Amino acid sequence: MSDPAKPTSLADRITRPDLDASSASFTPTASSAQGKSTSWADEVASPVGGPPPLNQTSSSLIAAQVDGQVEALGGSPLHDSREPEVQVTLSQIQRTLGDPLYSVGSFEDLGISPQILKGIFSMNFKKPSKIQEKALPLLLNDPPSNMIAQSQSGTGKTAAFVITVLSRLDYSKPNQPQALCLAPSRELARQIEGVVKSIGQFVDGLTIQAAVPGTVERGAKVNAMVVIGTPGTVMDLIKRRQFDATQMKVLCLDEADNMLDQQGLGDQCLRVKQMMPSVNQILLFSATFPEGVMRYAQQFSPNANEIKLKRDELTVAGIQQMYMDCPSDEGKYDILARLYGLMTVGSSIIFVKKRSTADRIADRLLKDGHQVASVHGAFEGGERDAILAKFRLGECKVLITTNVLARGIDVQSVSMVINYDIPMKGRTEMDPDSETYLHRIGRTGRFGRVGVSISFVFDRKSYMALQEIAQHYQIDLVRLDVEEWDVTEATIKNIIKSSRAGNNLKA
Ligand SMILES: Nc1ncnc2c1ncn2[C@@H]1O[C@H](COP(=O)(O)OP(=O)(O)OP(=O)(O)O)[C@@H](O)[C@H]1O
């Protein structure tokens, strides 16, 4: 069907790596080199570029496996050249104050309290990551200044803002709310609460409280120094005077682009901010800041120092991004069921568009004898917490979910992410949602680990959407052949194994 000499499709641009089991390295087969394919990929013309040299694709896969090996016993794997340089732009105010811009090589250089340092080291953080080394000197500088910070998924943004929050508190006022971290989902808020607890575990007098649905009873007071919550709940608590926000110093929005971009969440964040007259440091963090949202972010967090990444540096090198050409929408299920064995090598997350799809797939997989759990917005809060807790502990290895868990969730054992449905924007679903794609696949490959993402396409629309996402980030997706299952299986296994080796060493 396709002319091997003519680079017309994504499948032509991207090469399928085949595994040479004896040498445990990838080499292209004759069939892939000749462009043999019967997929959507061949039927849709690609507007850009020719194929990368075959050996380039295969060697990049080998490199990824080597990169994924982490240092033995608690060494941090993310301290090498794979972490892209972040671009720092100082605010006008900061420039007039003088240039404090330096990059710290160690947490000790930050001048933070010994108790906070002890907390950091107890988490086995040996050195700051790039975002931490660039952001923390600015975040901790006096007088406090705003920041809009972008860095890749899994690079330690949470610790950067948590260390800042803990360094800004007046410990003589344990019952007075002074810092608020907002997140778009209860799960992420809970996770941030955990990080505050861990880093702050040796800080005398620290008080922490979650403000997500169901945690603060009607009439009860929010009386902790650090509050971590979701925008709607926090807004209601302040309005009902359960939460005194008058002495708030720091406001931090995690996944800021997502919250500011959505009508409801964005309005709630703005209302919350307006109810905090004394806030003097507004921090916005995310792996993505699309241009349109950036302008609003700059209004929300005025005169902020900015840390940004180039668009082609947004994807994490350790995540091998692949796709599978499925026979039909319904046919995706059979492919998923075949992948099940690989999904349980580590832990996996399957992202679908609709809650009903999550339930349907979970039911079928369970009936077929597989252990999976689904979780989404229709579940009651406590149930959501319980399922995620099981997943974190590895008691449940495969989680089927919607975009509700696409952002921020940090489970280091996740070695595979499956995009069962390609993420599309809004109700019309006309445009691919590149940001959500990035956040979804970012649930694997955390802090320098290796992971695999597999996106399912089955028709022209899904194929074109994925192609657009690939072009947006200038990435080459690897095609896995559903017809050559042995090769596909070996390819995935090999990558996951390398990440597991790292994790085992770390344990
Ligand atoms: N300096 C460090 N050394 C070692 N591990 C670290 C360090 N900083 C953070 N980590 C670990 O890296 C992992 C990812 O961090 P975190 O969840 O903050 O990423 P993130 O940048 O917020 O990602 P996302 O964009 O997906 O929300 C966590 O498990 C965290 O404990």
Instruction: Give the dihedral sign, CA 150/156/162/163.
Output: negative
Residue 18 has pLDDT above 90, yes or no: no
Centre of ligand 1 from the C-alpha of residue 246, in Å: 31
CA of 9 to the centre of ligand 1 (A): 36
For residue 462 and ligand 1, the question of a CB distance below 6 A is answered with: no
Decide: 287 in ligand 1 pocket, CB within 6 A.
yes
- Strands of the 373-375 sheet, one edge to the other: 373-375, 398-401, 347-351, 414-419, 451-457, 319-325, 478-480
How many whole angstroms from 1 Cα to the centroid of ligand 1?
46
Cβ of 184 closer than 6 Å to ligand 1, yes or no, is no
- Of 79, 157, 185, the residue with max ligand 1 atoms within 8 A of its CB, to mutate for a pocket test, comes to 157
Residue 222 has what DSSP assignment? B
The ligand 1 atom nearest the CA atom of 447: 12
What is the mean pLDDT of the segment spanning 85-98? Answer: 69
Q: Does the Cβ of 158 fall within 6 Å of ligand 1?
A: yes
Instruction: Quickly name the fold that domain 86-309 has.
Output: Rossmann fold (3.40.50)
For ligand 1, atom 25, which residue shows the shortest CA distance? 153
Question: Which is more confident, 308 or 48?
Answer: 308
> Strand ranges (DSSP E) for 310-447?
319-325, 347-351, 373-375, 398-401, 414-419
| pLDDT for the residue numbered 63 | 27
Q: Among residues 100, 91, 87, which one has the least CA distance to residue 289?
A: 87
pLDDT bin (cut points 50, 70, 90) of residue 343 is confident
Q: Distance, CA 334 to ligand 1 centroid (Å)?
A: 35
Provide the pLDDT confidence category of residue 234 given band limits of 50, 70 and 90: very high
Domain layout of the chain by residue ranges = 51-59+314-497, 86-309
Determine the distance separating the centroid of ligand 1 and the alpha carbon of 135, expressed in angstroms. 14
Mean pLDDT of 377-388: 93
- Residue-level pLDDT at 55: 27
The mean pLDDT value for 70-81 works out to 40
Q: How far apart are CA 105 and CA 133, in angstroms?
A: 7
Assess whether the region 51-59+314-497 and the region 86-309 belong to the same CATH fold. yes
Task: State which ligand 1 atom lies nearest to the alpha carbon of 126.
Answer: 3
Between helices 332-343 and 355-367, what is the axis angle to 10°? Answer: 70
pLDDT at 430: 85
309 CA to centre of ligand 1 in angstroms: 17
Angle between helices 157-168 and 186-199 (to 10 degrees): 60
Predicted complex ipTM exceeds 0.95: yes
For the ranges 5-9, 127-131, 498-502, which has the lowest average pLDDT?
5-9
- Mean pLDDT value of segment 129-136: 92
Domain at 51-59+314-497, CATH class: alpha beta
